[in-house]
Chains A and B, each alone.
Chain A
Amino acid sequence: MTPARPPSESGPLQVRATVLTVRRVDAYHAITAVAPGIAARFRPGQFVAVAVGGPDTSMLLRRAFSIHDVRPDHGGTVEFVFAARGRGTRWLAGRRTRDVLDLVGPLGRPFPVPRDPVNCLLVGGGYGSAPLFPLAARLRERSCTVDFLLGAASGDRVFGALTARRTGRSATITTADGSFGVRGVVTDVLGQVIHDARTDVIYACGPMPMLRQVTALARRYDIPVQVAVEEAMACGIGVCMTCVLPVVGTDGVTRMVRSCVDGPVFRGELVRWDDIGTIPFDAFGAPGWEPRPRRAAAPDGGGARAGDGGEDGARGGDGGARGGDGARGRPGHGA
């Protein structure tokens, strides 16, 4: 549990991080902790895995949260946002200044950022918008324009609306109950926003059904979309194989890839949304699966590297984001 040995230049660290603040932000909580190594290595879209419950905890699995902010104070701090709705996240919400948290991070593949100054639309659902703010800052450094489209069930669940309004070229808000912004869901207005903002690239983070619909619309408008998925995770570091989803590689082969290390950011159109929660019959290693001839038709005509297994699988997705928050949503993950 002590800072782990290998101070390699990149890659995740395990640190004991002192809590600076625990704040309530509308329906959510935000914790800022001192973690210089993680802050220094962080790139937007990456996440931290947090041990919960203290010593001798009965909750063995780390909770994964996107990093919302890093700052240089105290040598480097990280902030993450979560909804306190399970035992683990309620324990986290009860932390106080100077408590110590065991954090592992930064984890996962970050959002790729465009080389050219293009128009970027950042779409967030609930606290899934948290990782979009450091991404927005990075995009602006690259002279991209940033428009926001944020949605949630109700006004107090739209995370970061004010910051979005202050820092985005535009910010559109939707709520299912109509208590803030447009009544409806983000995909109701996505087409209009894309049109008005002349969007070139979409980044999205939030619940899986939202990501799936955003991807479908982006395809319709022929706009590239990077999504940060929320899959239930147990370890966050790639050893347990619980967080898999079917993703098509650059060679056209579908693999069950780990969202914690091969994602959480994927190119939206490479995720087989309809097959999440199943093993598609044509997935690498599915029952009855046979290796195809190496140059078998890949959709992009590619047939690059036939790959050899889960590990390289999602490289095709080389982009991305990381989703939501804590507990990554799923029942059974315990939050």
Chain B
Amino acid sequence: MAPDLRTRLGGTELPNPILTASGCAGSGRELAQFTDVSKIGAIVTKSVMLAPRAGRPTPRMAETSSGMLNSIGLQGPGIDAFLQRDLPWLLSRGARAVVSIAGSTVEEFGERAARLAGAAGVTAIEVNISCPNVEHRGQVFACDPVDAGAVIEAVRARARPEVPVFAKLSPDVTDIVAIARSCVSAGADGLSMINTLLGMVIDTETMRPALAGLTGGLSGPAIRPVAVRCVWQVSQALPGVPIIGMGGVMTGRDALELMLAGASMVSVGTAIFHDPSACARIVRELDEELARRGVEKASEIVGLAHEARAGRRS
């Protein structure tokens, strides 16, 4: 019998636990040329700011071994264009939309949530707190438990009550559990992890940094063990809090690994650049991996690696 991949996200039932990662699938439109977006668990849209943003200068990207660095700088048309154009399009295609929001002050995040509250059809909000806080000397919200909590509180207060709010955590912290706790106490309904790790590449021909922005976010399979570790630590400390795991997932096997560590859903980012139909393929592969292990429901294996003697299952 085929395993049951259905997964609950707040009040919505997803057909499977595989999502796109924010910033790696636009708002789904381009992917629809290659894959049926309604068959992906949910589309997590690119983090949207209040106003249009031009982003950072180029070069914005450098390939690394099993990974890439990016410094896009949240280029996008702003929330009004998103609500007028992108969200309705996704809904018209029968896709489920998880809307990622970003901001540079606590108030901005709250405002964004309020704006979204006016829109129907949002499955969940993912709060990208890996942005510099202009009111705190540019310190990244996700690196400070107090700032992170303040953002989540502001968003939770103004979002529709039935729409779950997920805080997206950065791995670039000493104690990710402390940040996770603070977000959950501030009202986060779930946690997404991990965002990219800060990295740098120097071009040895030009002898200059490869990115115009000097540093960039590292993603791809190179970071997967970091993601597994973060999901493991947080799910150990906060059992029962839903986790969207991500970081270097290329195959169904990789998705299974993050689920075993404690993620109930898995986002796919950089893999999409390599294979525009990656999400559909990973759903298929996850299905096969579970079937091969005799697992009937995907939810059964979430966090299973934490159980003693997990390896004994046949």
Binding site for B on A (CB under 8 A): 1-2, 4-6, 8, 11-12, 14, 51, 58-62, 102, 104, 231-232, 234-235, 237-245, 255-256, 261, 276-279, 283-287, 289, 308-311, 330-334
How does the 8 Å CB contact mask read for B226-248 relative to A, with 1 for contact and 0 for none? 00000000000000000000000
B225 lies within 8 A of chain A by Cβ: no
Q: What are the 9 closest A-B residue pairs judged by CB atoms, nearest first?
A: A309-B77, A285-B52, A285-B54, A242-B61, A332-B210, A235-B273, A334-B63, A4-B34, A238-B30
Contacts of A231 in B (CB 8 A): 58
B82 to A, closest residue via Cβ: A309
Given contacts A239-B24, A331-B203, contact A60 B67 (CB under 8 A): yes
Q: How large is the interface on B (under 10, 10 to 19, 20 to 34, 35 or more residues)?
A: 35 or more
**Cα–Cα, bound, A240→B270 (Å):** 9
Assess whether A241 is in contact with B58, with CB atoms less than 8 Å apart.
no
B272 to A, closest residue via Cβ: A239
B205 lies within 8 A of chain A by Cβ: yes
Minimal beta-carbon separation of B5 from chain A (angstroms): 18
B75 lies within 8 A of chain A by Cβ: yes
> Which residues of B in the span 82-98 have a Cβ within 8 Å of any Cβ on A?
84-85
Given contacts A5-B35, A6-B34, contact A277 B58 (CB under 8 A): yes
Binding site for A on B (CB under 8 A): 23-26, 30-36, 51-63, 65-68, 70, 72, 75-78, 81, 84-85, 201, 203, 205-206, 210-212, 220-221, 270-277, 280-281
Minimal beta-carbon separation of B292 from chain A (angstroms): 19
Contacts of B60 in A (CB 8 A): 241-242, 244
Assess whether A51 is in contact with B34, with CB atoms less than 8 Å apart.
no
Listed A/B pairs (17) with beta-carbon separation below 8 Å:
A2-B281, A4-B34, A5-B36, A6-B35, A14-B277, A60-B274, A61-B273, A104-B276, A241-B72, A242-B59, A255-B54, A261-B30, A283-B54, A332-B59, A332-B201, A333-B63, A334-B63
Contacts of B59 in A (CB 8 A): 232, 242, 277, 330, 332
**Cα–Cα, bound, A242→B76 (Å):** 12
Contacts of B201 in A (CB 8 A): 332
Q: Which of B23, B33, B55, B205 is close to A244, meaning CB atoms less than 8 Å apart?
A: B55
5 more contacts with CB within 8 A, not counting A60-B68, A256-B75, A285-B53, are A5-B277, A6-B34, A60-B274, A104-B34, A237-B31
Assess whether B24 is in contact with A240, with CB atoms less than 8 Å apart.
yes
Assess whether A309 is in contact with B81, with CB atoms less than 8 Å apart.
yes
Minimal beta-carbon separation of A293 from chain B (angstroms): 16
Minimal beta-carbon separation of B210 from chain A (angstroms): 4
Assess whether B31 is in contact with A278, with CB atoms less than 8 Å apart.
no
